[in-house]
Amino acid sequence: MKRRLLVGAALLTALAVPLALGGGDALAALATFPLDTLAVMLALVAICWNLNALRLRLLLAGRAGRLRHAETLGIVMASEFAICISPGGSGGPLTLLGLLARRGVAPAESGAIFAVDQLTDLTFFLVALLSVALYLLSGSSGVEPVWVAGLAGSLIMALGLAGLTLRHFRSLLRITGVGLRRLGLPLRHRLGLVRRLLHFRRALIATLRLPRRILVTVFALATLHWLLRYSVLYLAVRGLGGQIDWAWTFLIQMLAMAAGQVSVLPGGAGSSELAVAALLTPMLGGRHTAAAILVWRFVTYYCYLLAGAPAFWLAWRGRARRIARSS
């Protein structure tokens, strides 16, 4: 019940912010939004799901057996649905690990695959952010350097922390063991935790040692995925007749995603809309900004809920059936 209330609050908040900004004028602007542009935006989302499914199959490298593309696509859609209904996207990794476990993938291996996938995204965002920022700062876009510096610094820190963790893994294990011992955790629990962490490290190194062509392809798919996904806001603004630079909408969505991570509501509801509203309103006005947010969130949030819910239900329903047959 609490989870349903949380999701309901997120849906209402995601609608309340743009409606408070644009009111009835925003709804009137939506009536003029071209359906062919909306169809293109929805097609981009479908392409993004398939790109992520290809990434997952490449990183699995046969560890899940003969996994068909449709099955991988279902796992991706279910995982992204879980991201949208959990604060900070915390449900996504758990769903991915659980669904891969059904295919015989050990938790350490699926965790390593998720980690490499996230490192790939972080690397892309760092390169893209610096490129977009240099482009925008060279003109009169009104970009605040402090935003760019803060976001770039966060990405660099995340990548640096990941590198330091791998490099000094054994030292971190010893420090962790000492801390857990002082907290009174029994020896067998400490040893079990260390064993799982060592398995994860071996699986992570094995994944990073996949053939270079596979890793390059994974990065290329991640690049294409995010370029398409972050074109949605640009298309929403252009569909409403607004004039805006694509690079500017790319940066806005990066900042909105960062703001959404600190929201206590699923899908970053409220904080993501406020971030976009604060950055778009000076250029487009309240009416068109509110309408653009509604279209953007429909495609990148509500659509993920509507299409991902059946995939999530079917995935876990299939698991429940297998458990019932084996018991």
CB contact at 8 A, 190 and 181: yes
CB contact at 8 A, 223 and 124: yes
241-246, Cβ contacts within 8 angstroms, sequence gap of 24 or more? 241/288, 242/283, 242/284, 242/288, 242/292, 244/283, 244/284, 245/136, 245/141
Beta bridge partners of 87: 266
Comparison of pLDDT for 217 and 283, the residue scoring more: 217
Question: Which residues contact residue 87 at a Cβ distance below 8 angstroms, ignoring those fewer than 6 apart?
Answer: 6, 263, 264, 265, 266
Residue 142 pLDDT = 52
Question: Which residues contact residue 319 at a Cβ distance below 8 angstroms, ignoring those fewer than 6 apart?
Answer: 98, 99, 102
- Domain positions in the chain are 2-326
252-297, pLDDT tens digit by residue?
898 888 888 777 788 888 888 888 988 888 888 888 899 999 999 9
* Distance between CA atoms of residues 198 and 260, nearest Å: 32
* Burial class of residue 8, CB neighbours in 10 A (0-12, 13-18, 19+): exposed
pLDDT band at 327 (very low <50, low <70, confident <90, very high): very low
Comparison of pLDDT for 179 and 212, the residue scoring more: 212
Give yes or no for residue 237 having a pLDDT over 90.
Answer: yes
Report CA Rg, the chain.
Answer: 21
Closest-CA residue to 263 (of 5, 3, 89): 89
Percent composition of the chain: helix, strand, coil (DSSP 3-state, to 5):
85, 0, 15
List the structure tokens of 245: 């630079």
